[in-house]
Amino acid sequence: MLEKKDNNFNSPSKLNDELKSTITPAAAPSKLQMREMGPLRAMAASFGLPRLIIASFLLLMFIVAPFVGNDFWTQISNVINRFSWNAILVLAMVPMIHSGCGLNFGLPLGIISGLLGATLSIELGFTGPGSFLAAIAIATPIAIVLGGGYGWLLNRIKGGEMMIATYVGFSSVSFMCMMWLLLPYHSPTMVWGFAGKGLRTTISLEGFYSEVLANFLAIRVGENFKIPTGTLLFIALMAFLMWAFLHTKTGTAMTAVGSNPTFAKAAGVNVDRMRLLSVVISTWLGALGILVYEQGFGFIQLYNAPFYMALPTVSAILIGGASVNKASIANVVIGTFLFQGMVTMTPTVMNSVIHMDMSEVIRVIVSQGMILYALTRKTEGGGR
């Protein structure tokens, strides 16, 4: 049996092909199944029913909005802006899903690295666009170290990643809650005025890197409509890099580890190293994501803010059509747009229509329902 396998993998190029063949395309039904279902249902199945429902809901919102007195273009602009804040955070989910580590509920760890980068960059006296670059530069080594430790931990507990990831995230956030108070920060823009120590809960980025990306080549029409071109370009660049990485030899091997670890191991891929790499990339993207989020939002939020940042991000990529072990760049883009669209549109439209703010409740039900839906589906491929 073993010998037979060895024969199959004697040439490296063949190995790569074999690896690729084990990676089934996204969780779509086969062509044959589609033909049996008829065109309409086939379309629904390939697009995913929950995604279809949310997309139509969003469409309905866009149609209703002008009639109930909300300015259509303001709404569109809001949705695009919110999309630009969150897309990188959602992108951070991709590597870990690919390597079979499941949904990265430990995203707060990456966010913590980003926050450390952001605060240290201001503490060290950087201002303007330079502070954004400095924040990235400082956050990177922190993310690599934390991500490395986190990846090492996840390699020891294969099979229970998601639960432990959640609690690694929570413990690190609550640990940093103490640290924000204790670390010797002195910059007057960040510490509490009267005590002279301990960071504030929200720190304004005015004069630092507030909207540095967003204002680059920004398109403004009138007062209410603004497209943050720079941020979108940056997202496109990161998405392209991710796409390119997943098509390199390392990226392919990573996907193989996620699809079928036993097979990947037999093919000579170092499973643990691939997983570690994916976790490090994920954590780093989380750090980068929060920095991009901050530059759009204009504030750094510390203390309890990162606690529940993972859940909306996870549900965004799931709404985009990813599953626990399959995700693509398209999932990220569609998912972020749909989720942020829903989050932005519902409160305004709801308030105008029925004078009742149910948006928070709807957001919770939809996003958690989406995660539940993904968790209860049988995982495709021989993941576990």
Partner 1 sequence: MQENKSFGAKALEFIRNNIVPILFIIICAFCIPLSGFTPSYLLNEIVTRMGRNIFLILCLLIPIMAGMGLNFAMTLGAMAGEIALIFVSDWQIWGIPGVVLAMILQIPFSILLGLLCGSILNRAKGREMITSYIISFFMNGLYQLVVLFMMGSIIPIKHFSVKLPRGYGIRNTVSLLNMRQCLDNLLAVNIKGVKIPVLTFLIIGVLCLFIIWFRKTKLGQDMRAVGQDMEVARAAGINVEHTRLISIVISTVMAGFGMIIYLQNMGNIATYSSHSQIGMFCIAALLVGGASVDKASIGNVFLGVILFHTMFIVAPRAGAAITGDSMIGEYFRVFCSYGVITIALVMYETKKRRSQNRTAQELARAAAEETAKEAAK
- Let me know if 237 is exposed, middle or buried by CB neighbors in 10 A (0-12, 13-18, 19+): exposed
Window contacting partner 1 (CB under 8 A); options: 38-46, 151-159, 239-247, 333-341: 151-159
Contact positions with partner 1 (CB under 8 A) in 19-58: none
| Residue 164 or 218 having the CB closest to partner 1 | 164
Window contacting partner 1 (CB under 8 A); options: 60-68, 114-122, 134-142, 149-157: 149-157
Window contacting partner 1 (CB under 8 A); options: 142-150, 166-174, 236-244, 338-346: 166-174
- Let me know if 182 is exposed, middle or buried by CB neighbors in 10 A (0-12, 13-18, 19+): exposed
Tell which residue, 54, 90, 38, has the closest CA to residue 242: 90
Say which DSSP state 226 is in.
E
Q: Residues 153, 266, 330, 353: which binds partner 1 (CB under 8 A)?
A: 153
Q: Which residues contact 63 (CB under 8 A, 6 or more apart)?
A: none
Window contacting partner 1 (CB under 8 A); options: 235-243, 246-254, 256-264, 353-361: 353-361
Q: Is 287 in the site for partner 1 (CB under 8 A)?
A: no
Rounded Cα distance between 236 and 122, Å, is 27
Q: Residues 160, 207, 268, 382: which binds partner 1 (CB under 8 A)?
A: 160
Element housing 281 (H / E): helix 271-297
Least Å from the CB of residue 172 to partner 1: 9
Q: Residues 1, 32, 40, 356: which binds partner 1 (CB under 8 A)?
A: 356
Least Å from the CB of residue 376 to partner 1: 4
Q: Residues 71, 72, 375, 381: which binds partner 1 (CB under 8 A)?
A: 375
Q: Residues 43, 68, 145, 178: which binds partner 1 (CB under 8 A)?
A: 178
Rounded Cα distance between 317 and 216, Å, is 27
- Let me know if 115 is exposed, middle or buried by CB neighbors in 10 A (0-12, 13-18, 19+): buried
Rounded Cα distance between 368 and 324, Å, is 14
| Residue 352 or 368 having the CB closest to partner 1 | 368
Q: Residues 46, 158, 245, 299: which binds partner 1 (CB under 8 A)?
A: 158
| Residue 143 or 350 having the CB closest to partner 1 | 350
Measured CA distances, 135 to 22, 34, 113, 346 (Å): 40, 49, 10, 34
Least Å from the CB of residue 369 to partner 1: 6
Q: Residues 83, 105, 208, 339: which binds partner 1 (CB under 8 A)?
A: 105
Contact positions with partner 1 (CB under 8 A) in 195-214: 198
203 three-class SS: strand
Measured at the CA of 345, the angle between CA 170 and CA 336, to 5 degrees, comes to: 50
- 157, 166 contact by CB (below 8 A): no
Q: Residues 17, 167, 201, 240: which binds partner 1 (CB under 8 A)?
A: 167
Least Å from the CB of residue 103 to partner 1: 9
Tell which residue, 109, 119, 77, has the closest CA to residue 299: 119
- 320, 51 contact by CB (below 8 A): yes
Element housing 204 (H / E): strand 202-204
Window contacting partner 1 (CB under 8 A); options: 125-133, 232-240, 267-275, 366-374: 366-374
Residues that bind partner 1 (CB under 8 A): 105, 153, 156-160, 162-164, 166-168, 170-171, 174-175, 177-178, 181-182, 198, 311, 356, 358, 360-361, 364-365, 368-369, 371-372, 375-376, 384
